[in-house]
Structure 1
Amino acid sequence: MINKLRSIFPSLITYEKYPITSDDTYKWFITTTDELIGIKKRELTTKDDVLLNTFLQPYDSVFPVPTMDEQRWQTRITTEKPAKTRSTYRFIYFSIQKNQIDPHTFKNAINELFNKTVPVLWENEQEGIIIEEQSGSKDESMSYEQIIDVLMSDLYVKIKFFVGSFVRNHFEAPSYYQTLKQGSRVAFTYSAKAVVNYIDVIPYLFIEKADKPLRKSITQSVLRDVKDDEELLKTIETFIACNLNISVTAKELYMHRNSLQYRIDKFIDITGIDVRQFHQAVTVYLAILGLKAEQDN
């Protein structure tokens, strides 16, 4: 069908089905095989337009036109034999609050922050991935905490990032992409942090994979009589997140060290678990995550 249409409309171009702008000079359609095609409006008569709309789905979007680099990356993450890349790269999944910034403005802001054109692939108007490539050993990875600070201060945009690991193997791109998407859902569900690293999400993945009876059993056996004490559990969770450091935790919670120590001692007395010890703290942390998962469900 594409070849027949191209013989009638020489300007016809095709894309794999993913977000693309409705360029003013093109009319866009989705075929029955999920291909995205564009035809120059100057080649379409009113009759042509009506006819095409009867067997093709019109497509209109607000996304920037994909660059050649973005098209190559789209192919890499959607094919079993992706095109080769020599660079070390990582995917960063982002989630923007609805109606806060349009894709064009967001992409321009990202390009300015990186000081170069960066591939951005969109899932929808609020979510997608940034592809950060390192072509040499001197390249420095971006601080996504700093990016959020800039977007918040300059554009008043609330955004979350799930930062993947750097990889070299281009054949891993499709599975890496799918893993990142799944991990971002878990990360944004369990973590209140604006930037979540792939290492941070691993405990959440263990809890996510555990069945409901197991999570309930862990919660009951570890947290016991403190599982309903939200204030105490928040204190303990923060203590663990602050690497079991009393001073840092007290500062984080705006508490006096003595008050913090009292709560930690209270937890130890009730549960019999010394949360000051690393291995026992890990167990408690997983139990708290399990409790959160139960409450969310």
Structure 2
Amino acid sequence: MIDKIKSLFGEESVSVTPDQNTYMDYSWFSTENQEIFGIKTGSLTVEQNNLLECLFTKLESNTIMMPSAQSEWFQYLYFNKGHNPLFFENENELPSSIRFIHFYSNQLFTHKVEFEEAINAFFHKEVIVVWNSAKEGVIIEKINDQPFNKEFLEHMQEIIAADLYHDVTFLVGKRYSPLANLYLYFDIEHQCFKKALSVKRQKHILWFSKEMLHYILSFLPEQLQKELPNLFLNDMKIDDPILSTVKIYLQQNLNVTATSKKAFLHRNTVQYRLDKFSEQTGIDLKHFEDGLVIFLAIHLLELTSET
């Protein structure tokens, strides 16, 4: 919808990001999907304005601005405008680290305030929630001690789903120094999150360090993504018991005993399958570099098997 508005009124006359200094120069509207856009007042005729008011919800200018902290973070993280907002904080008040927790819902957040209140209640401290659209945004967590663990975040997701009727997916970023180049790190995490959402499999709490694998592999040429599994796995299928055992072995840090427990197999059976794999492929999984390539090949095979 916004793209159509831009094509009608011109890219330079339409804004979707209210700016503290110029937002009064625009007439602001909201679509039924709660997408906000503004059109320069001088670009609108009376008839056009009346038509837009019939099609969309007219917003008062004083209601469209985010609180100053949210606005600064929004401009900095999503558009690299301005400076890291933490640069201007007192040195004694700086957190030890910053973490981004990205979120996305297939449903529109019709009551954003309720979601923000729920997030603040869970964290038991002030966090900043920055919205990128009516479906997604990021939670900025200032950390002075230990960050919340996986179980806590999973519980939070379940409660939000039950109480707010929103099936939200979160991607938990890593911890950064508060004065680091946060825009760059945020952008990488955000792109990784979008890629992870496209391949998500019944998971609601995603971790940046784990999902980065999907993101990196997406840059491989499509032909290589298709051929690499055949190249290293000798046409094995994803349901081959030898291959499934090899995957678990790699995930268990090349530990045969841990693999046998995880796979519910006798230790001798695990060793037999590993030996069989090496015999068929000529690859010794005990070498880290070889094991890494095989793990990537198995991962790509899984992706191609799902399509």
State the TM-score, normalizing by the size of structure 1.
0.68
Q: How does 1:73-88 map to 2 (within 5 A)?
A: 73-77=73-77, 78-86=79-87, 87=94, 88=97
Structure 1 pair 98–30 and aligned structure 2 pair: CA distance change class (3 A): closer
Distance in 1 (CA, whole Å) between partners of 2:136 and 2:297 is: 30
Distance in 1 (CA, whole Å) between partners of 2:134 and 2:284 is: 47
2:136 is matched with 127
Match status 1:58 vs 2:64: no
Q: Match of 1:201, SS?
A: helix
What's the RMSD between the two structures over aligned residues? 4.2
Q: How does 1:177-192 map to 2 (within 5 A)?
A: 177-190=186-199, 192=201
1:272 is matched with 282
Shift of residue 221, structure 1, vs aligned partner: 1.6
Structure 1 pair 274–79 and aligned structure 2 pair: CA distance change class (3 A): closer
1:40 is matched with none
* % identical equivalent positions: 23
1:198 is matched with 208
2:102 is matched with 93
Distance in 2 (CA, whole Å) between partners of 1:102 and 1:144 is: 26
Structure 1 pair 51–95 and aligned structure 2 pair: CA distance change class (3 A): closer
1:163 aligns with one of 159, 162, 172: 172
1:113 is matched with 122
1:31 is matched with 38
Distance in 1 (CA, whole Å) between partners of 2:101 and 2:29 is: 18
Structure 1 pair 31–287 and aligned structure 2 pair: CA distance change class (3 A): same
Distance in 1 (CA, whole Å) between partners of 2:206 and 2:26 is: 30
Q: Match of 1:32, SS?
A: strand
1:221 aligns with one of 228, 231, 237: 231
Contact 1:75 1:83 (8 Å CA) reproduced: no
CA shift digits 1:22-76 (9 cap, x unpaired): 9xxxxx9732259xxxxxxxxxxxxx9x985435673489xx9944322221122
Shift of residue 208, structure 1, vs aligned partner: 0.9
Structure 1 pair 29–295 and aligned structure 2 pair: CA distance change class (3 A): closer
2:20 is matched with none
Contact 2:260 2:267 (8 Å CA) reproduced: yes
Contact 1:92 1:161 (8 Å CA) reproduced: yes
2:254 is matched with 244
Contact 1:84 1:170 (8 Å CA) reproduced: no
Q: Match of 2:86, SS?
A: coil
**Count of aligned pairs:** 262
Q: Match of 1:235, SS?
A: helix
Report the AA paired with residue 146 of structure 1.
F
Contact 2:75 2:81 (8 Å CA) reproduced: no
Shift of residue 220, structure 1, vs aligned partner: 1.7
Shift of residue 131, structure 1, vs aligned partner: 0.9
Structure 1 pair 222–121 and aligned structure 2 pair: CA distance change class (3 A): same
1:70 is matched with 70
Q: Which runs of no fewer than 5 residues in structure 1 stay unpaired? A: 1-12, 23-27, 35-47
Shift of residue 259, structure 1, vs aligned partner: 4.1
Distance in 1 (CA, whole Å) between partners of 2:274 and 2:153 is: 35
Contact 1:80 1:174 (8 Å CA) reproduced: no
State the TM-score, normalizing by the size of structure 2.
0.66
Q: Which runs of no fewer than 5 residues in structure 2 stay unpaired? A: 1-22, 88-93
